[in-house]
């Protein structure tokens, strides 16, 4: 059980800035940056005005336990209630803003919520600065921190993950057998690999490379979790809710003809359409108790990214009065796209056979402000960066028609995003 200390009173000031076209990442000091970016827009922060770190629940806790979300909600509500906020901009991501990362499983440590001392934001032609202090009329010292140039990562040593490729394929084959025996419909299995650099990795370098290469994804950095996810778990502006479900994947083709062929193959694949349908059904079931209106398309569309293409469905809802963002987040996680179906059985299987602790991988990552606006993604195409070491993750959905060799190849495709960000000559 986590003991959550009462949050401090914070004095928050947001002012408009003259819009500039430069990268927000290049305004960040070195250290432990906070970021949520889509192309040139987004928010970045540094320093810590307040931080909540949650330990994992005891082993054997129900895999769908939501204690970490409710503990964070109480803490954030306390911050918002006591904060003295002056916000002259009034956009989502202004005023009091907290970045967060939540672990995939309830018994993992690593869920964190951080309020930065300084935040820069941009949305279209609007740019703003938020400062957070412990006393009225005082600017945080972090406002004047120097901004050195981004550092290259340098040479890397690649180390094996928790399971070798052949071992992981055996796990996939065993999972397919479980599914065909009727124990569950789908399980999302992941694997890891490790990169060691000769010196601490400059996370800003990874952010800038990911932002440039995947401008339509959500590039993030929160408490060591770094990546560029294509999967929007929820966007909230007022009572309007949006979610993007991705499940079913093919690589991009080397030529336009091959690319089109792979996309058509994906759209007509019974295995991938089934996997996607389970993820959409999971979202619909999770959202119905919270929505006055819910709109989910009957058929997915094709979403093409730099390295892969996905089956995608964008859902919209109008939330019922009184519903909080973290309440919805707790209900949505884990989706069938990152856990499986039925969820409890899939989560137990994952814990039993993957041979690793996912930490924040495939958990929610994003931000929320004091007005209830928020953007949260699923921490995919990501790594946990700790000093000179980065632990990369990739996964894929396993159903009755899955082939172990093809699933291994899919994880290799998904590793490429972070491998490229870590490799200096691949920037």
Is residue 231 part of the annotated active site? The answer reads: yes
Q: Is the dihedral of CA 334, 337, 338, 339 positive or negative?
A: positive
Concatenate the DSSP letters of all residues of 2-50 into one string. Answer: ---PPPPP-EEEEEEE----S-SGGGPPSSS-EEEEETTEEEEEES-SE
**How far apart are alpha carbons 185 and 352 in whole angstroms?**
17
**How far apart are alpha carbons 342 and 344 in whole angstroms?**
6
Q: Both tokens of residue 409?
A: 């190849």
Residues with Cβ within 8 Å of 141's Cβ and at least 6 positions away in sequence, in order, are: none
| Beta-bridge partners for 259 | none
The active-site residue out of 57, 142, 186, 354 is 186
**How far apart are alpha carbons 293 and 297 in whole angstroms?**
13
Residues with Cβ within 8 Å of 70's Cβ and at least 6 positions away in sequence, in order, are: 326, 330
Q: Report residue 362 CA to chain centroid gap.
A: 7
**For 95, which DSSP code?**
S
Q: Write the CA distances from 37 to 157, 220, 221, 376, integer angstroms.
A: 29, 6, 9, 12
**How far apart are alpha carbons 223 and 386 in whole angstroms?**
9
The active-site residue out of 142, 208, 231, 410 is 231
Burial status of residue 151 (CB atoms within 10 A of its CB: 0-12, 13-18, 19 or more): middle
Residue 226 has, within 13 A of its CA and on its CB side, a CA count of 29
- Looking at the chain, the number of H-run helices and the number of E-run strands are 8, 23
> Other CB atoms closer than 10 Å to residue 373's CB: what's the count?
20
Residue numbers annotated as active site: 186, 231
């Amino acid at each position: 059980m986590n003991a959550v200390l009462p949050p401090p009173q914070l004095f928050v000031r947001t002012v408009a800035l003259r819009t500039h076209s430069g990268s927000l990442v290049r305004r960040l000091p070195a250290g432990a940056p906070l970021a949520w970016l889509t192309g040139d827009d987004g928010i970045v922060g540094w320093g810590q005005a307040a931080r909540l770190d949650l330990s994992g629940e005891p082993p054997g806790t129900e895999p769908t336990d939501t204690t970490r979300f409710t503990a964070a909600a109480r803490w954030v509500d306390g911050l918002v209630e006591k904060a003295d906020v002056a916000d002259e901009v009034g956009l989502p991501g202004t005023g009091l803003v907290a970045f967060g990362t939540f672990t995939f499983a309830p018994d993992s440590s690593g869920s964190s919520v951080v309020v930065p001392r300084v935040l820069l934001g941009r949305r279209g032609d609007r740019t703003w600065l938020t400062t957070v202090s412990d006393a009225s009329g005082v600017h945080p010292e972090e406002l004047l921190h120097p901004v050195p140039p981004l550092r290259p990562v340098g040479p890397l040593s690649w180390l094996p993950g928790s399971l070798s490729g052949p071992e992981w394929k055996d796990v996939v084959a065993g999972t397919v057998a479980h599914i065909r025996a009727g124990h569950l419909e789908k399980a999302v299995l992941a694997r890891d690999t490790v990169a060691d650099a000769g010196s601490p990795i400059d996370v800003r370098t990874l952010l800038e490379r990911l932002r440039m290469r995947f401008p339509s994804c959500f590039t993030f950095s929160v408490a060591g979790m770094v990546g560029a996810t294509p999967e929007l778990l929820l966007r909230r502006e007022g009572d309007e809710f949006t979610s993007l479900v991705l499940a079913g994947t093919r690589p991009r083709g080397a030529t336009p003809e091959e690319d089109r062929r792979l996309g058509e193959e994906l759209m007509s694949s019974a295995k991938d359409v089934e996997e996607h349908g389970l993820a959409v059904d999971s979202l619909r079931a999770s959202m119905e108790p919270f929505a006055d209106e819910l709109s989910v398309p009957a058929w997915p569309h094709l979403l093409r990214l730099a390295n892969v293409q996905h089956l995608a469905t964008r859902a919209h809802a109008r939330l019922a009065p009184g519903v909080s963002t973290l309440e919805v987040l707790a209900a949505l996680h884990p989706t069938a796209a990152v856990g499986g179906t039925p969820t409890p059985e899939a989560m137990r299987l994952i814990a039993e056979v993957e041979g690793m602790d996912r930490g924040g991988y495939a958990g929610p990552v994003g931000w929320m402000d004091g007005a209830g606006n928020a953007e949260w993604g699923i921490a995919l195409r990501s790594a946990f960066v700790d000093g000179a070491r980065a632990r990369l993750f990739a996964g894929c959905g396993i159903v009755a028609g899955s082939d172990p060799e093809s699933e291994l190849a899919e994880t290799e495709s998904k590793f490429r995003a972070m491998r490229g960000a870590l490799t200096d000559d691949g920037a």
